[in-house]
Structure formats: structure tokens, C-alpha cells
Amino acid sequence: MKFLFLIAFIHLLPQCTGKPLRWDDCHQHTFKEIKREIAGYSDIAKAIINLAVYGNAQNRSYERLARFVDTIGPRLSGSKNLEMAIKYMFSVLQDDGLENVHLEPVKVPHWERGEESAMMLAPRNHSIVILGLGSSVATPPEGITAEVLVVTSFDELQKRAQDAKGKIVVYNQPFISYKETVKYRLLGAAEAGKVGAVASLIRSIASFSVNSPHTGWQQYQSDVPKIPTACISVEDAEMMARMSSRGTKIVVTLKMGAKTYPDTGSFNTVAEIVGSKYPEQVVLVSGHLDSWDVGQGAMDDGGGAFISWEALSLIKDLVLLTVNEKLLFLLLGLRPKRTLRLVLWTAEEPGGVGAEQYYQLHKDNISNFDIVMESDSGTFMPMGLAFTGSDKVRAILKEIMQLLQPINVTNIYENGSETDTEYWVRDGVPGASLRDDISKYFWFHHSQGDTMTVQDPSQMNLCAAVWTVVSYVIADMEEMLPR
């Protein structure tokens, strides 16, 4: 039925070429027609859900991810591990039978933390757990020993600027939200450097702590002295704040052997299912392959990378039985009209470095990018799709999300642009990301706690189902999403 309907449609609209729909063009599908077209995918959506959640592909993205992170471990930008991870993915994507599996060269930052430690010497001896922040300079080999100034905000640092000279500034800012609080990690060293501090220690950007430091990238400013900087646990930050509020003098020795090397060669990893009708048009699904150098990078962003791979695998592996009045169709493997392209970004953590070079290289073809999707906020219990773009596209996505009624994940949220997709979204390409239950995400983020143990196979199955239904239907609809 559906096929006959589509064929009839194509004949009525011979001038349609799958280009972005403009609602005042000669021939565009009306919203009512689009709604009907989307509703026609309900059997396929159910088949995808069944395969991912209950069928042969149950737990597959979880098991693939576990094998990957157990084999490679963490994968910092510029590291040998990241190089191994890319080779590993290149090989398994080929073995999976995907098309156009290839690597696109990019240059990425190479920073290593080296040996690092911090000791409190006064008021008592205490070993402070630290993780140096990405791009930090080293201390001299004997370390920096100085008195501590504790502040809770940049404002307080300004007020006490006279006190900061020659000290180690400890930031004990409260955690409000990642988005709001992360500025202390990004700019803490630069702000402390401006007022003459010799180092800065920053309370980890974490919503919960078991004495674990959480690392991340930081940014120096060109006209400000570069001082060594590391994150400390919430527990140690709070203790030093308590000591200091009692007027107790705190002295710390910080040793960091961090080193920045010249940029190194890396790759974005790409695989496709080539479109049957508009192969030049692209629906991009993605996650980043690099991680921090602690834990396993299973959550950030192993999960996002592997449900994105799973989307292509599920489409390829789907066995569909469709019955119409007289005939029984057996479909082995779906092929959408447009190309479904998997990109595993390199060097997201230093600031979307691989993604920016990908954008520079491919932006000439921007009119062929239908939607850019990245999952980089966890693969816990899915709640829906976050989206950035026009109201018209939002209305279409709302219809598509109705196809996920069988697993009750039908919501659409704001702000669907992630670090690696924002280059496209800024230029008007619709952008989507997976929205899931992030209530524990910042417990583990960028810490030794980011391991396979926080991932859950059934939640990953559901995430993969959402990701696959959305990307497949957009890739297969007769027209591109409107711009």
C-alpha cells in the first residue's frame, strides 16, 4: 500500500528532486501530506524498535562498546590510544559491511599530563587528589609551594586581588549547572594569572563526588601569564574553604609534569549507507571517539558513538515482512533514499577540533546536509529528541517522534546542537541531539568514574531505537527538511 502511494506521489510531482522544501515553491508537500507520509513509517519504526530492544540486536551497542573500551581504554586527543581506537573502528565498520568506510585526516592538539601531585603541608599533611587540566603548563620539577587563597567566585577574586599575588588560588564555586559553572574550569587559571597568582586549583565541575577530580580543557589568554592549573575534588575544595574561613593558613605544594607537543595527525572516521535515490544528500549521525585520559570514556562519548554506529547496523540488518492484498514482501536490509552517514569525530574534548576541520572541508555541500545529529550527553534512559532549527522542522520532527510511541519516547526539547554539530547548525542546518536522563551524568563526566559500569544495555537499546527511527525516516522521506 505504502509503496503504491509513494509511487503515485512521485509521478504527480516529477519536478521534485528531494531538495529542501520551501513552502512557497511550486510543488511542495503540504504539512498534511508530510504527516501522512510519516505515519506510513509506523511498521518500519516498530520493526526497528523490535530489532533493537527485543530482537537479535538486543544489547549489541552495549556489547560492542564494552569490547572497544576494554580493549583500547581512554583516548585522549593526540594519544597512541586514540590512534588505535580509530584503526579499531575502521576495521570493525568494514567487517560490519558498511559502505564508504574511510578516514579523513585532521590535525589535533597533543597534550600529556605527565606525573602530577599535590600535597597540603599546612595546617597538616594531606595528599590532595588532582587532575591537571588540558593545555595546562607544568610546574618547575621541584613544584610550586605557596599559601592558598580560597574564593567562591570570580567576583570574590576581584575583591581580594591584592591577596592573590604569589598565592595558589583555590576556587570553591558551588555547582549550579555544568553550562553555568564550567567557566571556572575554562577561565580559572587566566583570571588567577591576571591578579598575580602562581597556580590555580579548581573544584571539579561535578554534581556529586566521591573524592574524585574531574578534568577538562581550559583556556589561557594570550596577554596573561600562563600558570599551572588542575582540578581538585569537591571534598578537598570544601575542606580548604572551611579551614580558610577559620583563618587557618594553608600551604600546598603542586607538582605537574604536563607537556604540550606539536599538533598531531588524526582522523574523523566515516561510514555510510549510500542513499538509493538522492545519494548526494546526507543525514549525519555522530558521536565523538576521543575521550579524556582517565576512566574508559564509555559514557563520554563511547555511548553516543556506538548508538550512532548501531543506527546504520540496524537499518542494514532489518528484515521486514510486509503484506499487501496479494503479495508478501521480504525486505532484507533497508536503504533510505538519502545517504545515512556515520561520523565518529576526533578531538572533540579540546573543543570540537576534528568537527571544525570536517565542516571546513565539506561546507561547500551544505545544501545537501539534511540534518546533523550528535549524541554527546549520555545514553541513559532516553527522554526524547533535542532540536535546534525552524518551527516547520520542529513540527515535522514532532510527527516523527510519534513513531516512538511504542517505547514512550515522544518528546521534543530545545537546544539540539552539540559541540561537533554546532558549525552546521549556526549556518542553518537543522540539528538534533539525544535527550536522556542526565541526572547522574556529571557524577562521572571526565573522571576515573567514566567506565562501562555506568552504562546500561537496555537503556542503550532504547537510545539506539530512537536514534535509528529518527535518522532513517528523515533520510527516507521524499523531501529534505525545510530550511
The dihedral region occupied by 18, where left means phi > 0, alpha psi between -120 and 50, and beta the remainder, is left
Contacts of 374 (CB under 8 A, 6+ apart): 285, 286, 287, 288, 304, 345, 418, 419, 420, 421, 431, 433
301 binds, among ligand NAG, Zn ion, none (CB under 5 to 8 A by kind): Zn ion
Using CA atoms, how far apart are residues 83 and 5, in angstroms rounded to an integer? 48
Of residues 76 and 146, the one with the C-beta less far from Zn ion: 76
| 414 contacts ligand NAG (rule: CB under 6 A) | yes
478 binds, among ligand NAG, Zn ion, none (CB under 5 to 8 A by kind): none
Residue closest to 23 by CA, chosen among 9, 34, 37: 34
- Cβ of residue 63: shortest distance to ligand NAG, in angstroms? 8
Using CA atoms, how far apart are residues 441 and 450, in angstroms rounded to an integer? 9
The three-class DSSP label of residue 349 is coil
| 351 contacts ligand NAG (rule: CB under 6 A) | no
| 17 contacts ligand NAG (rule: CB under 6 A) | no
Residues of this chain, 147-206, that bind ligand NAG according to CB under 6 A: none
* Window contacting ligand NAG (CB under 6 A); options: 34-42, 157-165, 205-213, 359-367: 359-367
458 binds, among ligand NAG, Zn ion, none (CB under 5 to 8 A by kind): ligand NAG
Site residues, Zn ion (CB under 5 A) = 300-301, 376
25 binds, among ligand NAG, Zn ion, none (CB under 5 to 8 A by kind): none
| 405 contacts ligand NAG (rule: CB under 6 A) | no
Verify whether residue 348 is a known catalytic residue: yes
- Cβ of residue 42: shortest distance to ligand NAG, in angstroms? 18
Q: Which three cell numbers stand for residue 6?
A: 509513494
Concatenating the DSSP letter of every residue in 239-306 gives HHHHHHHTT---EEEEEE--EEEEEEEEEEEEEEE--SSEEEEEEEEEEE----SSS--IIIIIHHHH
Q: Kindly state the number of chain residues that form the binding site for ligand NAG, as judged by CB under 6 A.
A: 14
| 142 contacts ligand NAG (rule: CB under 6 A) | no
Q: Give the H or E element holding residue 127.
A: strand 126-128
Q: Active site residue: 37, 191, 310, 348, which one?
A: 348
Contacts of 292 (CB under 8 A, 6+ apart): 74, 76, 215, 216, 300, 349, 446, 450
| 415 contacts ligand NAG (rule: CB under 6 A) | yes
Residues of this chain, 262-281, that bind ligand NAG according to CB under 6 A: 280
Give the CA angle between residues 64, 287, 189 to the nearest 5°. 120
Site for ligand NAG (CB under 6 A): which residue of 91, 221, 276, 408?
Answer: 408
The residues that touch ligand NAG, with contacts defined as CB under 6 A, are 58-59, 125, 280, 361-362, 364-365, 408, 411, 414-415, 457-458
Hey, which residues are catalytic here?
348
